[in-house]
Amino acid sequence: MPSRRRFLAAGAAVAAPAFLPGLGRGATPAERVRIGFIGTGNQGMGLLKRVLAADLGDVVAVCDVNRGSTGYKEPDHFYGREPAAALVNKEAGGKGRPAGCEAYADFRRLLDRKDVDAVVVVTPDHWHAPMTLLAADAGKDIYCEKPLSFAAAEGRQMIEAVRRGKRILQTGSQERSNPVSRFVCEAVKDGRIGTLRRVVTKVGFNNKVGPGPGWQAMPVPDSLDYRAWLGPAPEQPYHQDRCLYRFRFNYDYSGGQITNFGAHSNDMAHWGMGLDTGGPLEVECLAATFLPAGSLFNTATETRFQCRYPGGVELVCESGPETVQTRFEGSDGWLQTGYKGATASDPALLAGLPERAAAGRDPHTLHLANFVECVRSRQDPVAPVEVGHASALLCHAANALIRLFATSGPTKAAWDAKAEQFVGHDAANRLLVPVQRDPWA
Ligand SMILES: NC(=O)c1ccc[n+]([C@@H]2O[C@H](COP(=O)([O-])OP(=O)(O)OC[C@H]3O[C@@H](n4cnc5c(N)ncnc54)[C@H](O)[C@@H]3O)[C@@H](O)[C@H]2O)c1
């Protein structure tokens, strides 16, 4: 059981003044939105730089359990709370704004600040739900990275907390703000390819290699509060390939590429199907391969699953060289979108397609800007909590059957979209519920 006192002590970072009043429930920020970043690693630093470059608000606080180190996705990148705060303060100084961004090791101290209107949660997946629930209860609006949840059963709690607190939540599914993906998904929804019959989605292969069976624990680096990094996850010996960036290849913290890339490609599938809430009638895992037992990376390396949706639409999701791609096949042709742009069976189907450059900014920036705009207007953003939940839920349901593949082989199971559970498949249903340690359970 983790020591709560030790966790709190680790978080006793620089105390910050809380002079400015925070937003009341449902209130609109009068001036610039004051933002706190939780998780300043690979994606967190990317989003932070975009907020600063587009001057979307004032970043008044950052938090990371890593003080600052290399060892992220790109080995030489130096990320963590200290480089993040230094970056914000340098940029603010350059723009003539007050340079008072504070760095915290415990996100709860950041949430205590009354002058933080909104938080951007960019931690590993196993932290998304606990942080979102506490942020919503603290009256903060939330930009939560995809996949919205780490386990299926968390999503409904996240919806309840956000709606109960009248909070704004944007899921980090930035393709929803990509004008090209919007064009394709809306065109499919509007019947441009006739009756939709089949959607084929892609998820990338693993892009990192972890240690095989017999791997040895490593000493925890000075900069990292490993216990706080683990948080609700099971106690495990430290290895550098467990944590920064590589957490996505371990089922204790993530769902592998099915939830990593699948949260994008399957989200677009749902969008084109016109299905912002709800899910399939049936899920079937057709193939899954894993590294040898005892490897540190234990998520599936290659997968193929399919689902049947109301109206007879079929979704097939498979590993491939394209990291994110969604192809819609209809009675009158096909349309495809993804990281590389849009293509179609007939150029006429692309009439009116906006160019990526036309937007002037990348989808991440547009997505963050949409969030900030909604913090002000109190309108739902383009990827609200229910949308993030439905996409993550599909990935979690598929992953449950994928994880059982090694012992059970190909499995088809009926899915009850209302109950958010398999019908009569206890082993798969157990995998939808997260295993969490106190005090986070
Ligand atoms: N939208 C996208 O296209 C996109 C792209 C990449 C990553 N992501 C998502 O962003 C999230 C983070 O991924 P990443 O690649 O940046 O991982 P990362 O490991 O590079 O960064 C995560 C950071 O969170 C920190 N952290 C862990 N526990 C914490 C805690 N309790 N409090 C504060 N900080 C904590 C880590 O120390 C690390 O610095 C994931 O959910 C991932 O799916 C989204």
pLDDT in tens, 365-403: 999 999 999 999 999 999 999 999 999 999 999 999 999
Distance of CA 45 to the CA centre of its chain: 15
For tokens 């590429």, what's the residue? Answer: 257
Which residues, other chains included, contact 292 with Cβ-Cβ below 8 Å and sequence gap of 6+? 212, 213
Q: CA 155, CA 157: separation in Å to the nearest integer?
A: 5
Any ligand 1 atom below 6 A from CB of 250 = no
For tokens 């016109």, what's the residue? Answer: 274
What integer is the mean pLDDT of 11-30?
A: 36
Any ligand 1 atom below 6 A from CB of 260 = yes
What integer is the mean pLDDT of 270-298?
A: 96
Residues 71-111 have pLDDT tens digits of: 999 989 999 999 999 999 999 877 877 778 999 999 999 99
CA 246 to centroid of ligand 1, rounded, Å = 10
Distance in Å from the first CA to the final CA of the chain: 11
* Residue 140, pLDDT score: 98
* Residue 358, pLDDT score: 58
The pLDDT confidence band at residue 30, using thresholds 50, 70 and 90, is low
CA 230 to centroid of ligand 1, rounded, Å = 13
The pLDDT confidence band at residue 357, using thresholds 50, 70 and 90, is low
Residues 249-259 have pLDDT tens digits of: 999 999 999 99
Ligand 1: nearest atom to the Cα of 263: 43
Q: CA 75, CA 91: separation in Å to the nearest integer?
A: 24
Ligand 1: nearest atom to the Cα of 66: 37
* Residue 239, pLDDT score: 98
Which of 45, 64, 120 best tests ligand 1's pocket when mutated (most atoms within 8 Å of CB)?
A: 64
What integer is the mean pLDDT of 161-176?
A: 98
* Kind plus residue range of the DSSP H or E element containing 50: helix 42-53
* Residue 96, pLDDT score: 76
* Residue 11, pLDDT score: 30
Of 56-70, 113-127, 131-145, 347-361, minimum mean pLDDT range: 347-361
Q: Compare 31 and 19 and report the one with higher pLDDT.
A: 31
What integer is the mean pLDDT of 307-320?
A: 97
Any ligand 1 atom below 6 A from CB of 245 = yes
CA 190 to centroid of ligand 1, rounded, Å = 36
**Nearest of 147, 153, 125, 160 to residue 433 by alpha carbon:** 153
Q: CA 34, CA 119: separation in Å to the nearest integer?
A: 9
* Residue 17, pLDDT score: 26
Of 1-15, 117-131, 358-372, minimum mean pLDDT range: 1-15
pLDDT over threshold 60, residue 4: no
Under 8 Å between Cβ of 162 and 118:
no
The pLDDT confidence band at residue 441, using thresholds 50, 70 and 90, is confident
Any ligand 1 atom below 6 A from CB of 228 = yes
Q: CA 185, CA 341: separation in Å to the nearest integer?
A: 12
Which residues, other chains included, contact 234 with Cβ-Cβ below 8 Å and sequence gap of 6+? 252, 435, 437
pLDDT over threshold 50, residue 21: no
CA 151 to centroid of ligand 1, rounded, Å = 16
> How high does pLDDT run on average in the chain?
91
Any ligand 1 atom below 6 A from CB of 41 = yes
Radius of gyration of the chain (CA): 21
Ligand 1: nearest atom to the Cα of 260: 43
Of 29-33, 52-56, 126-130, minimum mean pLDDT range: 29-33
pLDDT over threshold 70, residue 7: no
* Residue 26, pLDDT score: 43
The pLDDT confidence band at residue 5, using thresholds 50, 70 and 90, is very low
Residues 142-160 have pLDDT tens digits of: 999 999 999 999 999 999 9
CA 229 to centroid of ligand 1, rounded, Å = 11
Under 8 Å between Cβ of 228 and 10:
yes
CA 201 to centroid of ligand 1, rounded, Å = 24
* Residue 28, pLDDT score: 53
CA 128 to centroid of ligand 1, rounded, Å = 9
Task: Please give the angle made by the CA atoms of 217, 125 and 371, to the nearest 5 degrees.
Answer: 145
CA 322 to centroid of ligand 1, rounded, Å = 22
